Structure 1
Amino acid sequence: MNIKKTTAIFLSMSLLITTPVFSKEPQKPVQTTSMQTLTKIDATAQKSLNKIYQVFPELKNYHIGMIQKGTGKHGYGVEQWDITFTKEKKKLNTPQGDASVEIEVSTGEILNVNFQDKQLAPLPHNQAEQQAKDFLQKFIGNESKQYIVQRFEDNTLGTTGGTSVVFSKKMQPNETFKTISVRLGANVGVRAFARGHTELGDLTGNQLNRQEIQSALNKLYKVYPEAKQLEVVRANRGKRDVGFLVKYESTQLWVQEKGKNGFFGFVEYDLSGNLLSLSKSETSPPIEKPLPENKAKEKAAVLVKDLYEKNWGDYAFSHVETKPFKNKDSITKVYFKHVNIPKKELEIVFNGDGSVVSVTNFEKK
C-alpha cells in the first residue's frame, strides 16, 4: 500500500518553494465591507436555511443568536449571510455560538454549516467515505457527482475531533479547482459541511494553454514513468516570496491520474517555461538504506539532461548528501551549481530504491 507523504518530510527548502507563498505585490483591489448585524434574512436565504433544517433537523431546536451580512470576511469573496445559533435562547454580541451557517446572498448557495462539537470520535475511512457521499447526494444533489474523494483527515488536534472527508472537483474551462469538506463523528453522523475558499492566483482551464500543460506533464512522465493518464486538476499563478530565496513568479500545477483519488504530484515552472520544481505525492514503503552516492549522481545527471534539454549544460555537478533515517525513507540529495549564476542551484532527491522524491531549482538571495 502506498504511504502518502509530502516532500516537506525530507526537504524543508522544497516545501517553501512549492507552497504558494505570495509577495505583497500590488493586487487588484478587493471590495470588502464590514459585517452588518441585522434582525432577519431575506427570502432566498430563508429557502436555503429551510434546506439545512431538512438535512440537520436538530438545528430547528437551536435559536438564532446573531445575523450578519457582509462581503469578503471569510475568504469566499462574495456577499454572504452569517447566521450564528445557540442552544439556549439569547442574543449574541459576537458570532461565537453552538452552530453556524454561511449562505451566499445573491444565489442562496450554502457555503458552510458547522456544529461546535467537542472531541468527536473518528470513523474508519471506508465508513466515513460512504456516509459523506450519501450526505452530499442528499444535500447538494447532482452537483455531488462532479466531486471525487481527495483525502481523509482525522482531526486529532483541537477540540472538534472526528474524521473529515475532503472532496475535490478539477478545474473547468471557466471554473477554478474546488473542494468540499464533510466532517463526521462516530454515531453522530455529519457535523460540518464546508465549501473550500478559492486561493489567490488559482486559474481556470481557459487560462492555461495546451502547450504549457503538455510540457509540464512530459517532465513528470520522464521522472515518474509509472504515471498513467495524468491530468491537471488545479493550477495557480503568482509571485512567490520565500524569505531566503530570490522573489519569482511561477505557475504551479497539481495533477491526478484519471479515475484515481488524490493528487499524483506537482510541477512548477517560471514564465519562460523553465522547470522550478516537481514532486510526487505518494512514495513506496520506507527504505532505510539510502541510495549509494555514485548511483544517485549517475541517475541525477541523466535527469538533468532529460528535464533541461538544451540548457542542461548550464548545470555542473556540485556534491552529494546522504540522510539516513530509521523507520522511514533514507534519502540521497544530489546538487548541481548553475555555471553562470553562482547562487542558483539544482537539487534532486532520491529515495533508497532510486525513485525521485523531488526536483527543486532555486536561487538564494
Structure 2
Amino acid sequence: MDSLNVLWQSTGLANFEVGQVVMMLVGLGLLYLAIAKKFEPLLLLPIGFGAILTNIPVAGFSQAGGVLHYIYYVGIDTGIFPLLIFMGVGAMTDFGALIANPRMLLLGAAAQFGIFATLFGAIALNALPGFNFTLQDASAIAIIGGADGPTAIFLASQLAPELLGAIAVAAYSYMALVPIIQPPIMKALTSEKERRIEMKQLRHVTKLEKILFPLAVLMLTIFFLPAATPLVGMFCLGNLMRECGVVDRLSATAQNELINIVTIFLGLGVGSKLSAESFLNVETLGILALGAVAFSIGTAAGVLMAKLMSKLSSEPINPLVGAAGVSAVPMAARVVNKVGLESNAHNFLLMHAMGPNVAGVLGSAVAAGVLLALVG
C-alpha cells in the first residue's frame, strides 16, 4: 500500500490545486488566441505554453534547477532578451518615413502621454482595498501604454519583476487587439472630413541620411538620457546594420535567426511567471484594466496632437496618423491606413503612418529611460 501511495502522490492528479488548473486554462486561452485568432502568435504561443508548463505540479519547471527558471534568470532577469529583441526590431525598421517628415516625432511623443497618465492612475488605485502598488510597480504598469512588448518586459524586469507576467500578458494582448481597440477611438475623435484628408507624397530619403539617423539618435540619447541607452542603443545598432549595406549577413541574422530564437525563450520566460500564486490576485485585474486605459489614452493623445498639428500646418495632415504613435509596429500603421481607406478610397496613409509608428518605438524607449532614471 505504501508503494501505491507513493506512486499516487507522484502523479499530477494528486497534486493539482484549483489555481494551477485555472492558470493552465489561461495558458490554453492564450494558445487559442495565437493559433485560432492569430493575435500576436509569435509571443502568445510560447507565453501560453510556458504558462501551462510552469503550473504543472511536481515537475518544477520554474523552480531552481528547472529549465524555465534558468531561461528567465539568464535572459529576462538580466534584461538581455528584450535588448536583443530591440536590436532585431531595429534591423527590421525603415526610418525613411520619419526622416522625410521629422514632425511625426511629435506624434510619437504625444502617444506616450498614456504612459504617464496611467502612472498616476496606478498610484490612485492604492485607495482601493487589495491594491498596494509602489512607485516602481506603477511605472512598470504604465509602460503598457507604449504598446511595446520588449520595452514593457525590460522595465518590468528592472522595477517590478513580481508583476512581469501580468504586465507582459497585458502588453501583448492589447498590442494584438490594436485593430479592435483603436478604430472606435480614432473615429470618435475625428470627423468624416478629417479622415478624408490626403497627405502629400513623402520626399526621397538618401542612404547617407539613413546611416546618420541612428547615430544621431544614439548621441542625443547619450547626452540627455543615458538611462535609455540600453534600449535605444541596441535599436540603433540593429538599424545601422540594416542601412550601412556592408554587414548584410549580420542584419539578416538579427532580423531572422537571432530574433526568432530569442522570441521563443522570451515567451517561455514570461510564461514561467504566470504561476497561480503570482497571477491570481486583484492586482492582476488592476494591471489589465490600467493597461487598457493606458493604451486608449495613448491612442487618443496621438490623434488629438495630429489634429492640432493639422490646424497649425500649411500642409494637410490627416489626424488618423496620430494613432500610429503607439509603437505597435507595423500593425498600428496598417489600422490607420485601413480606417483612412474606409473614408476615402484614394487615401493611402500607410507610409505617412509609419513615421509616427517608428517614432513611437523610440518614444516608448525614452519613456522607459525616464521612468528608470526617476524611480529605478
TM-score (ref. length: structure 1): 0.24
Higher strand share: 1
Larger Rg: 1
Higher helix share: 2
- Which structure has the higher relative contact order (CA within 8 Å, separation 6+)? 2
